[in-house]
Amino acid sequence: MDVKLFMAIIGCKPDGRFTEQHDVFFGAANSMKELIPQMKAFWPEAKGKIHIDSWREVTAVDGYKIEVVPKDDSISNPERLFFINLGGYKPDEFEEYHYKVLAIGESLAEASKKSKQTSFFKHWGFKGANAHIDDKYGIDVDDAYNVSDILKPTFQEQFSLRITKPQNITEDVLHIGYYRLEKLP
C-alpha cells in the first residue's frame, strides 16, 4: 500500500452559522475516500455534513519531492513542510480573502519569507489593510504550522515525511470545485 499525504479545504454550514465555514485538513492514507472518517472526526460540529471545496495529493512543493515513508526509515533532511494561511483585502470589499500556502524551509521564518513572495501577498492589501500572515505581529503561529506536527498522532508514530530535491519534478494536480464525500476517489 502506498500512503500519500493529502491536503483538503473542507466546508460546511454548522448549526447557528449564517455562512458556510471552511478549514484546512491534512491527512495521510491510500486515497482521499479513506480519509472521510478522519475528516468527519476533525470537525465534529459539522455533524458529518461536510464537503470538499478543493484537494490535492501533496507530492511537490517549492521544487521538492514530498513522500510519506515508514517511521523506521532514516530521515535526516533539515527541510520541513509548512502550511501558512495568508490573509488579505481589496479596497471597498467587505471581506477578508485567504490564500493557503505550502512552503519548504528549515524554519518557519524561512518558509514565511517564501510565502511573502507570492503574488497574493504582494497584491491583496492596501494602505491600512495590508496582506498578512494571520494574525498578530506579522506571523501568527496559530496559522503557520509544520505539517508533520498537525497530522494525526497515529501518522506521527508510523510515518515521516521525506523531503528531497530531485532534478525534475511534476507539480501537484489541484482538484478545485465542490466535491461530495461519497464522490471522492
Q: What is the pLDDT of residue 74?
A: 64
Residue 7 and residue 33 in one domain: yes
Q: pLDDT tens digit string along 106-123?
A: 998 888 888 878 787 777
Residue 129 and residue 179 in one domain: no
Residue 70 and residue 159 in one domain: yes
Instruction: Give Cα separations from 4 to 13, 28, 175 (angstroms).
Output: 28, 5, 16
pLDDT: which is higher, 159 or 118: 159
Q: What is the pLDDT of residue 132?
A: 67
Q: Is the peptide bond before 135 cis (omega within 30 degrees of 0)?
A: yes
Based on the structure, what is the number of domains in the chain? 2
Q: What is the pLDDT of residue 140?
A: 36
Residue 106 and residue 149 in one domain: yes
Across 13-21, average pLDDT? 89
Compute the distance between CA of residue 179 and CA of residue 56 in angstroms, rounded to an integer: 12
Across 12-34, average pLDDT? 92
Strands, DSSP E only, in 2-92? Answer: 4-12, 21-29, 51-57, 60-61, 64-70, 80-88
Positive or negative torsion for Cα 99, 101, 107, 110: negative
pLDDT: which is higher, 21 or 123: 21
Q: pLDDT tens digit string along 58-82?
A: 999 999 999 999 887 667 778 999 9
Q: pLDDT tens digit string along 85-95?
A: 888 888 888 98
* DSSP per-residue string spanning 81-120: EEEEEEEE--TT----EEEEEEEEESSHHHHHHHHTTSHH
Compute the distance between CA of residue 85 and CA of residue 146 in angstroms, rounded to an integer: 12
Is residue 68 a contact partner of residue 26, using CB atoms and an 8 Å limit? no
pLDDT for 135 beyond 70: no
pLDDT for 6 beyond 70: yes
Residue 37 and residue 21 in one domain: yes
Residue 162 and residue 78 in one domain: yes
pLDDT: which is higher, 19 or 75: 19
3-class secondary-structure state, position 41: helix
Residue 157 and residue 175 in one domain: no
**Could you tell me the three cell numbers for 43?**
470537525
Positive or negative torsion for Cα 38, 155, 112, 178: negative
Residue 94 and residue 154 in one domain: yes
Residue 179 and residue 147 in one domain: no
Confidence of residue 137 (pLDDT cuts 50, 70, 90): very low
Residue 43 and residue 72 in one domain: no
Question: What is the domain extent for residue 38?
Answer: 1-59+170-184
Q: What is the pLDDT of residue 139?
A: 39
pLDDT for 136 beyond 60: no
